[in-house]
Structure 1
Amino acid sequence: MPQPIDSEARLSWVLAGLAGVLGAAAFTHSAGYFVTFMTGNTERAFLGLFQDKAWLAVGAAILLASFVGGVVIASLCRRHLWVNHPHGATVLTTFALVASTVVDLVMRGWTAHDVPFVPIVFVAFGIGALNTSFVKDGEVSIPLSYVTGTLVKMGQGIERHLSGGQLNDWLGYFLLWAGFAAGAVIGGFISVVVSGSQMLLGATVVCALTAGYTYFYFDGHALLK
């Protein structure tokens, strides 16, 4: 089925870009931790044991648990607290980033380049929560950081278009991927000139502004339709 290019789709590109920025912040200012790539963390969690790198395996397992925890908590909040705010997950992501920034400032200060592991755990939690921003019939309809699945669907859409389908069979998936990629590129450029704490704070501010827009305007406007 082709993805319609509507306000929900456009919002998903913005949030995918935010996920890309967060992934870049964690990767470039840490020991290469993944907060968006749970496939990689799963492999690290098990392969680290075979490479005599128990610390790598444990760290990856903790990030996996934090990511899933973000999904679970955001889903519970969506069911019980955010009944009229379908994109309320951005609020939980903002709280997670605030916690990450505060912990990083306490542990390393304002000018340190690297972000220690504990703040990264909070970022992974926030990314997990962010991925519940788009739900239909109780299931995630637009996974923001699941780039592999997005590219698979884009490839299938391209095939349908070549076989007589429509441009929208794949364009929406391409733009979702492009949003994530653009966020990663922006995050990469920013990481060159700022410290880890500064980048976390910047990402927190952007996420807070996005959460305010979605919570107080976008969701309310959607309910009126």
Structure 2
Amino acid sequence: MSGEDRGTYAVAVVLAALAGCVDAFGFITLGGFFVSFMSGNTTRMGVSATEGEWHPALVGASIVTLFVLGVVVGSLVGDRVGLRRRSAVLGLTAVLLTVAVAGSAVESTQIVIAALALAMGAENTVFDRGSGSSISLTYMTGTLVRLGRGVATALTGGARWEWLRFAGLWLGLLAGVGIGTGVHRLVGLAGLWVAVGVAAALAAGFARRPGVGFSAAST
């Protein structure tokens, strides 16, 4: 892995941790729904609808819709600015996370969750190259499949350590969940300022070096 690719990978791990942190806030706030893990929301939505529990089904459907809308907006913003995609999308993510903090200040759970879901959808477009190729940041099923394939490859004489890249992304998400849970326990939703700071710092960093590391977007 080149130095440029290592830099991109390190940012991806940080963004996975950011997603885990934000998801912990959303999960705790809603008591079992996610703002970044849409497979879990889809399962809960389907089970609730089948059992006639329409309120949780509607909650799940709303979050999924907002997440997809976040992807749409992030993609449009990123495609419009070209090489400044990463800075622009991360800036958008920081703004949406700030809206979530503002929502908590006025005690509006709806605003908080809507903004968090939009932010996580947008974050997933940071590494997008316009062809659907991107690094998985807020969901880990595909990453764990690649980890397993990498282990199998190593056991059969292939690349010995390739699987560690995917393990690192998963561990980043897990660490973020732990951090988010701990911060929420200490200061509540005001702890989302930590997530705002991380997104804003990354946006500023990429603003100084636009277009760096795009070769690694197929990780």
Task: Indicate yes or no: 2:208 matched with 1:209.
Answer: no
Match of 1:97 in 2: 97
Q: Aligned-pair distance for 1:24?
A: 1.0
Task: Indicate yes or no: 2:129 matched with 1:129.
Answer: no
Task: Indicate yes or no: 2:106 matched with 1:138.
Answer: no
Please say if residues 131 and 140 of structure 1, whose CA atoms lie closer than 8 Å, have aligned partners that are also in contact. Answer: no
Structure 2 distance, partners of 1:47, 1:118, is 25
Q: Aligned-pair distance for 1:221?
A: 5.2
Secondary structure, aligned partner of 1:107: coil
Superposition RMSD on alpha carbons, in Å?
Answer: 1.9
Secondary structure, aligned partner of 1:97: helix
The percent of aligned pairs where both chains have the same amino acid is 32
Structure 2 distance, partners of 1:134, 1:165, is 27
Q: Aligned-pair distance for 1:142?
A: 0.5
Please say if residues 20 and 180 of structure 1, whose CA atoms lie closer than 8 Å, have aligned partners that are also in contact. Answer: yes
- With normalisation by structure 1, the TM-score equals 0.86
The residue correspondences of 1:178-189 to structure 2 (distance < 5 A) are 178-189=171-182
C-alpha distance after superposition, 1:5-43 (max 9, x if no partner): 521111101111111111111112333320121011112
Please say if residues 5 and 213 of structure 2, whose CA atoms lie closer than 8 Å, have aligned partners that are also in contact. Answer: no
Secondary structure, aligned partner of 1:166: coil
Tell me how many residue pairs correspond in the alignment: 210
Secondary structure, aligned partner of 2:19: helix
Task: Indicate yes or no: 2:148 matched with 1:155.
Answer: yes
C-alpha distance after superposition, 1:48-81 (max 9, x if no partner): 122232110001101000000011111111111x
Match of 1:84 in 2: 83
Match of 1:74 in 2: 74
Gaps of 5+ in 1: 109-115
Gaps of 5+ in 2: 215-219
Please say if residues 97 and 123 of structure 1, whose CA atoms lie closer than 8 Å, have aligned partners that are also in contact. Answer: yes
- Following TM superposition, where does structure 1 have runs of at least 4 consecutive aligned residues deviating by more than 4 angstroms? 220-223
Secondary structure, aligned partner of 1:138: coil
- With normalisation by structure 2, the TM-score equals 0.88
Q: Which amino acid aligns with 2:204?
A: G
* Higher helix proportion (structure 1 or 2): 2
Q: Which amino acid aligns with 1:45?
A: M
Match of 1:219 in 2: 210
Quickly say closer, same or farther: Cα 1:72–1:37, change in 2 above 3 A: same
